[in-house]
Amino acid sequence: MMMTANLQDFDVKQAVLFDGTFGPREIDQLSAISSRDFNQFEVLKNSVQELEAKSDELSPAGFVRLGVCQFLIGKYQEAVQTLKSGDGGALAHFYLARLNFSLGKHEEALHSYDLAQKAGYNVDYCTLGRAETYRAMSENEKSLAELDRLSGAIEQTAEYLYQRGATVAAIGINPYEAIALYERALSADRNHPGALFGLALENERRGNDEEALDLYKRAVGHFPTNVGTLFNIGILYEDFGQYEQAVLCFQRVLDTEPMNKQAMLFLKDAKASSEMHFDEEAQRRRDQMSQILNLPVSDFELSVRSRSCLKNMGINTLADLCRHTEQDLLGSKNFGETSLDEIRNMLTLKGLQLGQLATEKHTPETVEVEALSPDEQATLARPINDLNLSVRARKCMNRLGIQTVGELVRRTADELLECKNFGVTSLKEIREKLTVYNIKLRGE
């Protein structure tokens, strides 16, 4: 959370493994250098493993060093236990607070920030931590009150500007003020992960997906990476068809939170989408074949007998013809081997053969719209936005052209699942939202 000094001569391994000064300045340096250079992040992870192997020899201060380093590489659960074995000082309490916040244990985070402040940790940063925690608890007025307590140099820091911007955005007073605060934060620190995330989110809300993706990419380069950032960029990667990148993002969430059910479902969906990834060349061939199959048989030079037989059988296109076998044709009155050879030769020139579509259904399935009760019908005119869907589900609704609840409930689950990036997670969300109105998707 503090400005980083010159990193050129900073030795990551030495900072982790060897006794010496280890405080906010050194932690900022570790975070900055590992975020700037992934090779250094690997050095940090390897050094942490070495230190973990020596845990039996660590002093209380050594456990604090290890716990903080575990936090930096995203090993949150391990870090909590390690810090509890530490010296109980200000640094230990402060990072226990950050860990509890990251794990969603907000009341415990507030308590730890209070303990850190009492033990002598920087008051301004403890206050900023409480402001962030209150905001996560949807107690935005308390968050703003914490920020209003601060004055002086802290008000010009990237962290303060980001926290105020995020709080203004949460309250919903003026989104443009929030954007201005994020931009000021990035002027103070161009790589501030929170400000990058906030600005990316505002761009995404306005449909500026490419700019949002660029900002999210910069944000996820910072360690430890915010889980919300990983979710959002993963969803955007899916929208851009970059499924392998999406898989990596959701896997990174699980590396930090192995039991995160949402990440498990999103990962499953992303892998499924990757396996079904759109093959442009294959689609081009399918489109070309479709055009050929739709050609009318009257376009081809056939004998009068053959034309007459095909007409009598209701065969108008090459697709109709390919749905019939040789036996079907020969069973028609006046259709003999000569006509059959003529038809075979015509189809061969187009890469087709008789009977290749024989199993295809001839008539479309009829769809029956289930009757709805009067109370259910009253909700049909509601705009789809009333369901407060997630980003992923909302985008799928836009792709399908679904604007009202009524249009949604006329779809089946299978029809929704055919939409790009709409998986079991989104389907579960839709079902839960409709349950509030006591209605279901068609066929359920």
pLDDT, residue 362, reads 41
Predicted confidence (pLDDT) at residue 366 exceeds the cutoff of 60: no
CATH architecture for residues 1-121:
Alpha Horseshoe (1.25)
pLDDT, residue 214, reads 95
**What does the radius of gyration of the chain's CA atoms come to, in whole angstroms?**
31
pLDDT digits (tens, 9 = 90+) for 168-202: 999 987 889 999 999 999 999 999 999 999 999 99
pLDDT, residue 63, reads 97
pLDDT, residue 273, reads 76
pLDDT, residue 5, reads 44
- pTM for this one? 0.65
CATH label, 374-435, candidates 1.10.10.2160, 1.10.10.10, 1.10.150.20, 3.40.50.720: 1.10.150.20
Confidence of residue 376 (pLDDT cuts 50, 70, 90): low
Report which of residues 162 and 335 the model is more confident about: 162
CA atoms of 133 and 116, how far apart (whole Å): 15
Give me the sign of the Cα torsion angle 353, 354, 356, 362: positive
CA atoms of 183 and 192, how far apart (whole Å): 10
Supply the mean pLDDT for the chain.
87
In DSSP notation, 148-182 reads: HT--GGGGGSHHHHHHHHHHHHHHTS-HHHHHHHH
pLDDT, residue 424, reads 83
Q: Is 405 helix (H, G, I), strand (E, B) or coil?
A: helix
CA atoms of 403 and 383, how far apart (whole Å): 6
pLDDT, residue 240, reads 87
pLDDT digits (tens, 9 = 90+) for 251-268: 999 988 888 888 898 898
pLDDT, residue 3, reads 41
pLDDT, residue 84, reads 96
Question: Which is the CATH superfamily of the domain at 296-349?
Answer: 5' to 3' exonuclease, C-terminal subdomain (1.10.150.20)
Q: What residue ranges of the chain are covered by domains with CATH 1.25.40.10?
A: 1-121
- CA distance readout (Å), 168 to 101, 132, 336, 342, 360: 20, 12, 82, 77, 58
Confidence of residue 377 (pLDDT cuts 50, 70, 90): low
Q: Is 296 helix (H, G, I), strand (E, B) or coil?
A: strand
Q: What residue ranges of the chain are covered by domains with CATH 1.10.150.20?
A: 296-349, 374-435
